[in-house]
Amino acid sequence: MKIIKQLPTGNKDNMKNLSFELESLIYTNIKESYPENWNRELLTRSIFSDMKKLFHGKKIHTPGSAIKSLWHLYQLKKNSDSIFGDAAIIMQISYHDGQIVHGAAFYDIAEKEPAKNSFSVLNKNRLRKLSSFAHHAQLLLYDYDPIAGMAFPSTADSVIGYHPPIWSNWIPYTHAVTVPANLAFTLGLKTTGLYKVSVPFSYQLCYRYLYGLDLDFNKQQLETAAGVNTARGNPKFLIQISASHGGALLLDNFEVDKSRYSEFE
């Protein structure tokens, strides 16, 4: 089943092609996991492992510039009652003009229930706590069915696919989307009704996070994501991404409490 349309290009490492490859690996992981191993923790670890293989050390060509990135993946060593978010992404971005920012993105993750249109693991109290601390926190939703009807402001050719294949028109769809946690809390939904306020996870990463958008930037948020500050608890998964734009220096000096987190590939 073809998920998205890959546009012809002169350089396979441009953002459009890498978005295509990211969507493809998400689909492959979803297909291999459902229904026998339909578990958000196993799925998250597998998807981010494949994402690192795709992006780590690669020079991504963008219109008029390029982005390089380094990735580190961590998981809590022990299960804990003080979990704060299923995952957190810490971005360290060096812009072409010399400015540097550090930002964090917190995630609550849910997989759609088999043969239903609901995400029973979503918890309103957990969502409220997460979004009140990290105002740009998101939900990451996995679906074994194609997700369409997203809140996409324009049709991104990196996520254009066809479904069903007999249709003559192209429509955007994916199998993993992000939803702002504060908006999900306001809507009060635990169903696929959340898709109307979602965007593809591939879009959120490639066209938002790599540019420093939709992140939280204060010290307490960053230290909580890294496991250094344990007052609220810490995320199960920690993804650290260093990105440099243009000719900027690619930095790799993240904080992480390695007594609490173990690195994986």
Cβ-based burial of 171 (10 A; exposed 0-12, middle 13-18, buried ≥19): middle
Q: List, for residues 118-128, the tens digit of each pLDDT value.
A: 999 999 999 99
Q: How far is CA 214 from CA 16, 53, 137, in A?
A: 20, 24, 8
Of 195, 188, 39, 174, nearest in space to 114 by CA:
39
Strand partners, 60: 67
| Confidence band of 13 (pLDDT split at 50, 70, 90) | confident
Distance between CA atoms of 89 and 238, rounded to whole angstroms? Answer: 6
Q: How far is CA 260 from CA 154, 225, 237, in A?
A: 42, 12, 11
Please report, as a single letter, which amino acid is at residue 39: N
Q: Where are the domains of the chain?
A: 15-264
Taking the whole predicted model, whether its pTM rises above 0.85 is answered as yes
Q: How many residues does the chain have?
A: 265
More confident position, 81 or 66: 66
Query: Cα 86 to the chain's mean position, in Å?
Result: 12
- State which H helix or E strand residue 27 sits in: helix 15-33
Q: How far is CA 186 from CA 3, 128, 176, in A?
A: 31, 9, 21
Q: List, for residues 222-248, the tens digit of each pLDDT value.
A: 999 999 999 999 999 999 999 999 999
